[in-house]
Amino acid sequence: MATATLLSNPVVTVNAVDLSDQCRSLSVSVKATALDATAFGDTSTKRVAGLFDNSVTLELYFSYASNETYATLQGLVGLTTNVTWKPASGATSATNPLATLTGCYLEELPPVFTVGELVTVSVTFLGGVYSVATS
């Protein structure tokens, strides 16, 4: 039987600041760059894993309140930081794992201002080491 996860209370932190109440979505890419290892005599292309090129993208509501979106992100542009997320606010466990992207880089902070709509920003943290804790 198939199971699915309904996210109703996930936790997202950036630079140890909880931005869960401002986050609309999160997408993760864990990618090992493919390197060509094909040599003379091979009859097909061979690939081996190179460096990892991970990223996490957050879509956030843009708030100027202290310890919220702008205050947390504006000083991180051009720097490395850590981003963490887990499905629910409870204790970290096998069914509520804590994922971390350590040492990731924030290249830009591009908020979108549209008349009559909530201000949002989509930020992508590039690089870093991806890990998952279950306890």
CATH classification at residue 119 = 2.30.110.20
Q: For position 1, what pLDDT does the model report?
A: 59
Instruction: Decide if 3 is inside a domain.
Output: no
Q: What are phi and psi of 52, to 5 degrees?
A: -80, 145
Whether 6 is covered by a domain: the verdict is: no
The number of distinct structural domains making up the chain is 1
The residue range of the domain holding 55 is 11-33+50-133
Domain presence at residue 1: no
Answer yes or no: are the C-beta atoms of 131 and 82 closer than 8 Å.
no
Q: Please identify every stretch of the chain with a pLDDT value under 70, giving residue numbers as ranges.
A: 1-2, 6
Query: What pLDDT does residue 9 have?
Result: 87
In this structure, how many other beta carbons lie within 10 angstroms of the beta carbon of residue 129?
12
According to DSSP, the β-strands at 55-61 and 23-29 are: antiparallel
Tokens in use for 41? 């005599």
| Dihedral class, residue 22 (left if φ above 0, else alpha if ψ from -120 to 50, else beta) | alpha
pLDDT at 94: 94
pLDDT of res. 68:
93
In a domain, 5, yes or no: no
